[in-house]
Amino acid sequence: MLGQFLRTLRRQRQMDPLHVTMTGVRMGERFVQIGCDDASLLGGLAAKVGLSGSCAVVTFSDEAAKRARRVGVDVGSLIDVRVAQPGAIGGDASSVDMVVVDDTRGTFARLRGAERAATLADARRVLRDGGRIEVVERVALTGLLGGHITRPQGYVVESELATAGFKPVRMLAEKEGIRFVEGLKSTA
């Protein structure tokens, strides 16, 4: 019994990188990803929801949209890719189960404060009651040069999520140079 569990866990780790597993996206869910800094994150999440779910990506640049479209082709998933202004995610109110903010290159954090606030407010609008938002941010670069991702002074994603009305907000983990911060859309 334990042996089977360990084999399953090992196979899961090989199939999904940490940042995909940590989001908790499941088959059949409807999710929107904001930004496309890390193609492997989007590819893993799009494959997770499968044909019974839906995947949309809202980017703020044509370059990121092109990257997202390429991911859809590479993994064989239908991904609705939109280029929008910050704060204009689009879509119906309460229409998605989860929002994932890909901030692995610091793109979201470098938006102006009002743009981040508007984007998070619109993310909350499209989430169903009880839905989750998760910000995936890289805190350290790996490789030969290493280093850190630059974020604006005073920027704390937990505070921004709380200000946007997500409750509770918590850091799920920080591992392998990536932080995972989650907020819930609660009705209370």
Q: Cis link prior to 152 (omega < 30° from 0)? A: no
- How confident is the model at residue 14, as a pLDDT? 42
Give yes or no for a contact between 136 and 23, defined as CB atoms under 8 angstroms apart: yes
Q: What is the pLDDT of residue 5?
A: 43
Percent of the chain with pLDDT over 90: 58
Q: What's the rounded Cα separation, in Å, for the pair 49 and 14?
A: 18
- Across the chain, mean pLDDT equals 85
- CA nearest 80: which of 57, 99, 50? 57
pLDDT of residue 148 exceeding 70, the answer is: no
Please state the domain count of the chain.
Answer: 1
CATH code for the domain in which residue 172 is found: 3.40.50.150
Greater model confidence, 160 or 51: 160
Q: What is the DSSP string of the chain?
A: -HHHHHHHHHHHHHHS-HHHHTT---TT-EEEEE--S-HHHHHHHHHHHTTTSEEEEEESSHHHHHHHHHHHHHHT---EEEE--TT---S-TT-EEEEEEEETTSTTTTS-HHHHHHHHHHHHHHEEEEEEEEEEEE-S--SSS-------TT--HHHHHHHTT-SSEEEEEEETTEEEEEEE----
pLDDT at 36: 95
Task: Write out the residue range of the structural domain in which residue 51 sits.
Answer: 2-184
Strand 178-184, strand 169-175: pairing: antiparallel
- Percent of the chain's residues with pLDDT above 70: 84
